[in-house]
Structure 1
């Protein structure tokens, strides 16, 4: 961990900071000093010992939006981390709390927020970091760049990081769960039976062998399947329109629930789509190994939504690491 961290005068001399209890101020300094390169603090027992801080002091920092606590895992996030600190790419080390970072958004003043509907949101944090943590380009230009980027990639990559938000907040606040109804209707009419789906899937995975990415499968059809699986809960598809769950899919759910100590049902359509698509590209064993590797990076997260978002956004990358290794 770095020996030096930055604290801005604009924060330390702000009214919300000046009016706080002295112990709360000291706590903030120690949290910043002990944060990782993304502004996350996962262990605070020594900090509490050194400062004499208690739950009231943390609550004061939370009330003043100086820190965020997005989960019950005990991990705290310095809200204004990137507005105060600039860490060069050659020494930057990403946080180990990736499942927590995917819940955050970056604002135009480079502060963190948990609220995707905030008018100042520029992009999901994961996307902003992936694109170099740019603080030189004006936020307005970056917002336009991210808007264009996600409009394009959301057509090609099911389960990209934008799926962690309820809306893509850029330009005209594009509604991400908007469906092309004509395509949905056509897909539903053409939906095959469970047995047909199983035989087609078996033939594809058998012919692919090994890594066997299916070059004949179209991106458009995968995107359509994914959109159908993310229909709002008020418009749940009937049983005849839901994707079939075969033995391999059930085995992957078993692996997921075992590795994450969860109880996600087999008919979760969002994950059925992801698993079906991955099995058309990789061997069953690679997908299971990817789930195992993903579980080792979850940082103690066990709620169902966090697990599902982790699978949607990162399982494909975990499988790639397995195959490369």
Structure 2
């Protein structure tokens, strides 16, 4: 945790701050000073005793929207507008130790935190934004908001927040986000599937015809049947990445041949890491393509298998404390997003 924090005049002149009682003002300033680099602070006996702070003071800060209380954890508070108050250089930034708390936070377009992932101004989860380098030079939030909506819809299946019209000026009364997402998903999937299928057939026919003296059509039919079975098996075994169509789904079965060629030099290491992951976790993760590519990149970059295993263990330790990661898809997504970082630390 940093030894110094910056305070601006705008903070001290903010109406929410000015209307606080003097005791609550002092408490808020102390919380700012002792928060970690992600704006998360643990309620301290030292702070409470020095300021004679009570539950009423904390409640006043919560009511003003200056801090966020975490249900099920009375000791932890989050500074709502932390990212607007503090600017921490990348070289000095240290992530919070309360990863299970940060995983519940989302970023609004003013870079303040919220627990409500369905808030119409939310553009990213806190974890994803931080993993992307905590960018603040975002000029257009609309694509990020739409991507976040698709992720939420895929994970939850429903939403009570309505979609705006194409011009962005008004809400569509007869169409919610789920309807919009299903329409976009259907169009994207169909166009992509038709194009990829045709390209695969043409390529297979050309290759097989030249190599086996004209029996390409029969072999192509067999390959097509096998590909269909493989796709079904993939869906049944849960090898999806945890993201909806239209959002980066990673490498699919349609590109399994190219994936196999990429990872072939490290296939033994990849298989070993998947086996290790399933031995350490009570959740069985199938041979997920995107995760396999993460393994491959780490091995290719010279990281020792034991370092990667240590990174897996650290993420599993965190996931075991977070109920939302007790399923294959969200746990796989967590590994894809953070394994490289945890391996580097190891």
What is the CA–CA distance in structure 2 between the aligned matches of 1:165 and 1:31, rounded to whole Å? 37
**1:126, CA displacement in angstroms?**
2.5
Q: Does 1:220 align with 2:252?
A: yes
Name whichever structure is richer in strand by fraction: 2
| Aligned-residue offset at 1:44 | 2.0
Moved more, 310-319 or 65-74: 310-319
Q: Aligned partners of 1:33 and 1:276: how far apart in 2?
A: 45
Indicate the residue corresponding to 1:315 in structure 2: 335
Q: Deviations over 1:200-248 (max 9, x none)?
A: x9xxxxxxxxxxxxxxxx822499xxxxxxxxxxxxxxxxxxxxxxxxx
Match of 1:113 in 2: 114
5+ long unaligned stretches in structure 1 = 202-217, 224-248, 258-270
For the residues of structure 2 that align with 1:96 and 1:166, how far apart are their CA atoms?
32
Indicate the residue corresponding to 1:302 in structure 2.
321
State the distance in 2 between where 1:6 and 1:170 align: 39
One of 282, 288, 304 as aligned partner of 1:277? 288
What does residue 293 of structure 1 align with?
A: 314
Matches within 5 A, 1:36-185: 36-73=36-73, 74-137=75-138, 141-144=139-142, 146=144, 175=178, 178=182, 180=186
Given that residues 102 and 125 in structure 1 are in contact (C-alpha distance below 8 angstroms), is that contact kept between their aligned partners in structure 2?
Answer: yes
Q: Which has the higher contact order (CA 8 A, sep 6+)?
A: 1
Specify the SS of the correspondent of 2:100. Answer: helix
CA distance in 2, matches of 1:85, 1:95: 15
Unmatched segments (≥5 aa) in structure 2: 166-175, 191-226, 240-249, 256-273, 297-304
Question: Counterpart in 1 of 2:264?
Answer: none
- Structure having the larger proportion of residues in helix: 2
* CA deviation vs aligned residue, 1:24-64 (integer Å, no higher than 9, x gap): 21111110000111111135222212221122211111111
Q: Which of these two proteins has the greater Rg computed from alpha carbons?
A: 2
CA 1:59/1:220 → structure 2, altered by over 3 Å: closer, same or farther? same
Distance 2:134 2:291 in 1: 34
RMSD: 4.9
Structure 1 residues 58 and 29, CA gap change in structure 2 (3 angstroms):
same
